[in-house]
A and B are shown apart, each in its own frame.
Chain A
Amino acid sequence: MSPTPDPPESKPKSAEPTDPSLSGALGQDTEGNLPHRGMRTDRGRLARWFTIRDEPGGLERFLFGIACILLVLLIWHILTRGEGEARIVDPYTLPSLKKAFGSFHELWFDRALMRGAIASLTRVLAGFLLAAAIAIPIGVIAGCFPRFHAFLRPLSIFGRNTPIAALIPLTLIWFGLGEVQKVMFIFLAAVAFIFFDTTMSVRSVPGNYLDTAYTLGARSSWKNGLRRALYFGLAYALLAAFGLHWLSEAPQTIIAEAVDGKVPEQPSFLTQGAFWIHALLGLLVGTLLWLPVQSHQAISKVLFPLALPNIVNSLRLLFGLAFGYIMLAEVINAEFGLGKIIIMSQRIGPREHIYLCLMVIALIAFAIDRLILIIQRRAFPYVSHGH
């Protein structure tokens, strides 16, 4: 990637009309772009709420979000206040606000919320990373070579239209009850979507960039491509070797020890044959997948980098979905994880924990979404991002 010495804030006013969503995202004043500049009275302010596409400032947007949360909590409170017959909703169906939040201490310590959350998160991360590592290069190749895309289309359509929940019995048969099953479930759930979005991102890069690249001498060279693909292969080798090692080493205990502050024992993985076999496999797969991409300058220097912001954006949205799917796998069989806590709370109580877990899940998903968005803004300062 090219260096980005200019932070987006320091850019001078350009002659191009600035995208209001971009300037809003950078914390600049968006007032200049508003259609009704004269309406600055209190009545005008309210009228702006009902103006189509009138962009609010960052603080205003934040306050509207808070208002929604407060409204939901208020409705919850109204539904559950009072005792016995006076309550609108009985305590079995919906616990009171106070009771729900009061059970947090128990959830944190007795149910080991943190350990569960980390366990769930690592499972999704592992499965999603695996899916991205395979689907992105294949998707880029399919986006560049329509015949290859036509060839893979049946698999892509099948993968995207299979009900996710229907995969659980199959993954149990194929991968057993352990950690591998959950990671592979996420992998299967995500891989077709990542492939499809990557292909579409590459296909939607305008053709004039390709023409320009060709007339400027973009070439194809398998020799140079192999050298660059080997770097990807090395990264894949590391991930495959350490990732599979980690999966086989009962990760729950590693997490438990890490959370409790104990230093896990140094395993002697370097002497294990499986470690090196996995590394070799990763090297082979990574190199092969990235060889076609890296061998064509028109892809590695033009189509892929131009599509990358869209690819990362779709990864961000898909990760949110994948994080939701892991609950499906965890409520069926798991030793740790948020899904396990939820199913235990439903069976043996307290049911308040279900509500708290749902909030924790939403918070974690939101935090990850923001984190990726920040990375996106840093990595692609030339693209306008959403809020």
Chain B
Amino acid sequence: MATDPTTPPVVEFRSVTKTYAAGTRRAFTAIKEVSFRVDDIPGHGEFVSILGPSGCGKSTILRLIAGLLPQHPPTSGEVLMRGKPVTHPGPDRGMVFQDYSSFTNRSVLDNVAFGLECDGMPKMERYDLARDWIGRVGLDPVKDLHKYPHELSGGMRQRVAIARTLILKPRIILMDEPFGALDPVTRQQMQDLLVGLWRELEATVFFVTHDVSEAVYLGDRVLILSNSPGTILTEEAVPPPNRPSREMRREPDFVNRVFEISSLLEKLEEAAQHS
């Protein structure tokens, strides 16, 4: 797939460094000199998995793209979205968090419709759209509609989180270990669901995870970060997820790739412990 060189990349990091409490004794550099670019592939988008040992600044990268405090703004370097610096968070960059962040005071319907409500869409219209999306993420559009988050299981809550993010049709989707707290079976179901929805939306996805097989299965490309301060160590293109998760995971090519990346990560973790 050829990229158009005249259009600016969807997201570009130009030697971005983030240091917290800079200038004090508690100064901590989360990421250092991170540079990469993700081009818009028309009619496809790109699925970028971000892998790395724990605490290497994976979430920092996502939150910098989202423009969320306190990661935003970067200490040095530039975070560009379509050629313009990121200044504040917005609905064009949807984000799904690991910890359940469904609004506890809102029903499933009102949670999914939240973004449209903020945008000022009339009630009937946004509820119709929300019902549609509740069905698309595999929730019951009748029974689950008026449930509150505390009545939902972890997997169902993440479905709500995905629905309320995708309903806004963001061009960039940021996912911060969204399936990290789910059991393996639910996790695979959610991965397949995500792949299906992503195909329809053709958005650019950034997916942070520490599960290597998840990263390899979902991603078109895997970014591997080194230990803190995080820098991009290597970048690897992987085959896109064009078959169901259960099939693909058994292929030797897939298994080998996962093994290679896992051992690389193990080395990184060891290096971190010795340093």
With a cutoff of 8 Å between Cβ atoms, the chain A residues found around residue B208 in the complex are none
Q: Is the CB of B68 within 8 A of A305?
A: no
How far is the CB of A312 from the nearest CB of chain B, in Å?
A: 12
- Given the interface contacts A208-B101, A306-B103, A380-B105, does A216 sit within 8 Å of B146 by beta carbon? no
Q: How far is the CA of A5 from the CA of B68 in the complex (A)?
A: 35
Q: Which of A1-40 contact B (CB under 8 A)?
A: 1-2, 5-6, 11-12, 14-16
Instruction: Provide the B40-78 mask, 1 if CB < 8 A to any CB of A, else 0.
Output: 000000000000000000000001001010000000000
With a cutoff of 8 Å between Cβ atoms, the chain B residues found around residue A61 in the complex are none
Does residue B135 face the partner (Cβ distance < 8 Å to A)? no
Q: How far is the CA of A84 from the CA of B186 in the complex (A)?
A: 79
Q: How far is the CA of A218 from the CA of B89 in the complex (A)?
A: 9
With a cutoff of 8 Å between Cβ atoms, the chain A residues found around residue B94 in the complex are 215-216
How far is the CB of B263 from the nearest CB of chain A, in Å?
A: 34
Q: How far is the CA of A31 from the CA of B148 in the complex (A)?
A: 24
Q: How far is the CA of A260 from the CA of B153 in the complex (A)?
A: 58
Does residue A378 face the partner (Cβ distance < 8 Å to B)? no
- Per the CB 8 Å criterion, the residue count for chain A at the interface is 31
Does residue A267 face the partner (Cβ distance < 8 Å to B)? no
How far is the CB of B120 from the nearest CB of chain A, in Å?
A: 8
- Given the interface contacts A2-B110, A215-B91, does A16 sit within 8 Å of B152 by beta carbon? yes
Q: How far is the CA of A2 from the CA of B106 in the complex (A)?
A: 7
Q: Is the CB of A14 within 8 A of B150?
A: yes
Q: How far is the CA of A209 from the CA of B105 in the complex (A)?
A: 11
The listed residue (A1, A14, A215, A306) touching B93 by CB distance below 8 A is A215
With a cutoff of 8 Å between Cβ atoms, the chain B residues found around residue A309 in the complex are 105
The listed residue (B68, B99, B110, B118) touching A216 by CB distance below 8 A is B118
Does residue B139 face the partner (Cβ distance < 8 Å to A)? no
How far is the CB of A205 from the nearest CB of chain B, in Å?
A: 10
Given A5-B146, A214-B90, list of 14 further CB < 8 A pairs?
A14-B153, A209-B101, A209-B103, A211-B97, A211-B101, A214-B89, A215-B66, A215-B90, A215-B93, A215-B95, A216-B118, A219-B118, A305-B103, A381-B148
- Which of A's residues lie within 8 Å of B, judged by CB? 1-2, 5-6, 11-12, 14-16, 208-209, 211-219, 297, 301-302, 305-306, 308-309, 380-383
Pull 16 A–B residue pairs with CB atoms less than 8 Å apart, ordered by A: A2-B110, A15-B152, A16-B152, A208-B101, A214-B68, A215-B68, A215-B91, A215-B93, A216-B114, A216-B168, A297-B118, A301-B118, A305-B103, A306-B103, A309-B105, A380-B105
- Which of B's residues lie within 8 Å of A, judged by CB? 63, 66, 68, 88-91, 93-95, 97, 99, 101, 103-107, 110, 114-115, 117-119, 146-154, 161, 164-165, 168, 174
